[in-house]
Structure formats: structure tokens, C-alpha cells
């Protein structure tokens, strides 16, 4: 097996020829897609993977300097694409993986057909007229909690970011996902995530993209999704009925439907009142 596939614990599933890559967000692993992927197996070739330090990836391959920025993670995405000789892929990224996917698509646009951003943010920190949802004090507090006790912090965080109090089992599942991230690399990944600012890169994206924006998402507010939509060529914005930061876990059917409609070029502009087309 190719060493890249071992490093990132790459799994290849499905029967179709069109490739769809699912990339998990901070604190999670490929297991976070378990409620979504089965719906794609009959018609697509599904690629799942873990970032180094997450899930069953090879932790010995962790490079602190490389993964100090999101470009390091984007490099891994490109490595996987090249190792499998993938072309015209659909890349579905959750949370920070939205920007990781964008970075990879900027570096290797010929490999990407479409991008799907779920709960994305080009910058988490507020800045003048931009509302990212966090101030500097918020971010520093997050870093302190992760450094002190990542597991305890993630256990407290899970029900808040899931934001589905009537389904406590979802927060329990998310907590299990969080525990799949090695605490020794969690802080560095968090710093790479929350200190990032890719607002000025959006205008350069040549690949059509879809932004799936949940309601009441404290990690990625609507203002962040709207900024992406307004500043990214060929970006569609869908405000979902799902609440919280993990619609692929809390409302998988809605998430699946929106992804498939975008892939199949179903007329998005007439789909519903909650969609905005650039």
C-alpha cells in the first residue's frame, strides 16, 4: 500500500466512477461521516481519510512545523489525490476542512470539479466590519482549555456545538469523535484553525462551490457563510434547517440531499427561498 494511504488511513468505498472526498473538521475523524457516506456508495467512489493526529492516522508522521498552518493539511489532501491519481473530484469539507479544500483547489485546480463547504469560516476572529464569531479573548481561552485538559474541554464543548439538546446521543457521538484526536496535536491544529485568515483567497477560487450553512451555528455564524458567498466566484449559499455545527451528524438526510442536488446540477436558483446564488 502507498505510504500516503497508510499515513492518512485512507479508505476507498463505493461503486461509481465519480470520486467524492469527505474531509473531517477539527477534533474529528472520518468516522464523523458515518451517517452520510452510505447514501453515496451506489453511485460514487467515496474517499475517506484522517488528518495526521486524528483517527487512525500514523501519528509518527506528525510534523509540527508542517502542520502549524492549514497549508500543511492541504498538502496532505494533494498527496492523497496524487497517490490515487484522482481527477475531477467532488471535495466535501466540514468546518476547517472547507478552507483546507479551498487551499488545495487553489494549488491544484485541475483536480477539482466542485467543492462543498459545510459550516465554513474564512476567519474565526472578528475584524472591523467582519463578524467571525470570536474575539481574541475567546480564542485564547479555547487554547488554554485545550492545553490544560483537551478531553475535559471537548466533553464540555460537544453538546454546545452540536446544539441539538433533544438528541443528547448526538453529543455523545461527537464526544467520541473528539477523543479520536490525539491531545498532543489538538492544540496545534486549533491554533492553525482559529488564527487562520483566508478571506483574501476566496476571490481566486476557480472551482464552483456550495456553502451549507446551519442555523444557530456558534462556530461558523451566518455572517461567515455570507462573506464566503459574496466574495467567492460561483458560490451558492444554502441556509439549512439543521441547527448546530454538525449537520452531517444531526440532519444527515438534509445534508445528503443538498450535496447531491449540487453535484447533479439541479437548478439551485429555483430550489428554495433559503438559497442564494452568486
Catalytic residues: 95, 217, 245
Please write down the long-range contacts of 143-146, taking CB distance under 8 Å and 24 or more positions apart. 143/187, 143/190, 143/191, 143/194, 146/183, 146/186, 146/187, 146/190
Please choose, from the candidates 236, 196, 267, the residue with its C-alpha nearest in 3D space to the C-alpha of residue 116.
236
- Cα–Cα distance list, 255 to 159, 251, 275 (Å): 20, 6, 14
DSSP 81-147: HHHHT--SEEEEEETHHHHHHHHHHHH-GGGEEEEEEES--SBSB-BTTB--SB-HHHHHHHHHHHH
Whether 2 contacts 83, CB under 8 Å: yes
Please choose, from the candidates 38, 19, 227, the residue with its C-alpha nearest in 3D space to the C-alpha of residue 117.
227
The 8-class DSSP code of residue 43 comes to T
102: cell is 479551498
* Strands 89-94 and 275-277, bridge-based pairing: unpaired
C-alpha–C-alpha distance, residues 6 and 55, integer Å: 12
182: cell is 490525539
Please choose, from the candidates 16, 183, 26, the residue with its C-alpha nearest in 3D space to the C-alpha of residue 118.
26
Instruction: Give per-residue burial for 163-187: e unless 16+ CB within 10 Å, then b.
Output: bbeeeeebbebbbebbbbbbeebbb
Amino acid at each position: 500500500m502507498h505510504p500516503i494511504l497508510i499515513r492518512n488511513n485512507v479508505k476507498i468505498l463505493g461503486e461509481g466512477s465519480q470520486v467524492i472526498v469527505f474531509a473531517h473538521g477539527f477534533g474529528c475523524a472520518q468516522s464523523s461521516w458515518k451517517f452520510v457516506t452510505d447514501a453515496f456508495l451506489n453511485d460514487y467512489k467515496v474517499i475517506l481519510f484522517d488528518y495526521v493526529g486524528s483517527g487512525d492516522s500514523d501519528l509518527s508522521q506528525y510534523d509540527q512545523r508542517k502542520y502549524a498552518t492549514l497549508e500543511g493539511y492541504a498538502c496532505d489532501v494533494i498527496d492523497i489525490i496524487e497517490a490515487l491519481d484522482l481527477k475531477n473530484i467532488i471535495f466535501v469539507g466540514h468546518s476547517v476542512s472547507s478552507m483546507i479544500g479551498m487551499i488545495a483547489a487553489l494549488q491544484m485546480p485541475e483536480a477539482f470539479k466542485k467543492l462543498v463547504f459545510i459550516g465554513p469560516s474564512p476567519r474565526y476572529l472578528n475584524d472591523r466590519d467582519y463578524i467571525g464569531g470570536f474575539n481574541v479573548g475567546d480564542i485564547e481561552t479555547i487554547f488554554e482549555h485545550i492545553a490544560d485538559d483537551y478531553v475535559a474541554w471537548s466533553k464540555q464543548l460537544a453538546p454546545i456545538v452540536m446544539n441539538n439538546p433533544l438528541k443528547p446521543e448526538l453529543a455523545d457521538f461527537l464526544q467520541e469523535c473528539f477523543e479520536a484526536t490525539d491531545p498532543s496535536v489538538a492544540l496545534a491544529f486549533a491554533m492553525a484553525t482559529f488564527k487562520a485568515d483566508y478571506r483574501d483567497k476566496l476571490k481566486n477560487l476557480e472551482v464552483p462551490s456550495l456553502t451549507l450553512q446551519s442555523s444557530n451555528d456558534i462556530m461558523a455564524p451566518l455572517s461567515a457563510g455570507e462573506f464566503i458567498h459574496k466574495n467567492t466566484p460561483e458560490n451558492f449559499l444554502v441556509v439549512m434547517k439543521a441547527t448546530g455545527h454538525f449537520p452531517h451528524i444531526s440532519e444527515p438526510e438534509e445534508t445528503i440531499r443538498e450535496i447531491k442536488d449540487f453535484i447533479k446540477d439541479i437548478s439551485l436558483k429555483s430550489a428554495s427561498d433559503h438559497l442564494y446564488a452568486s
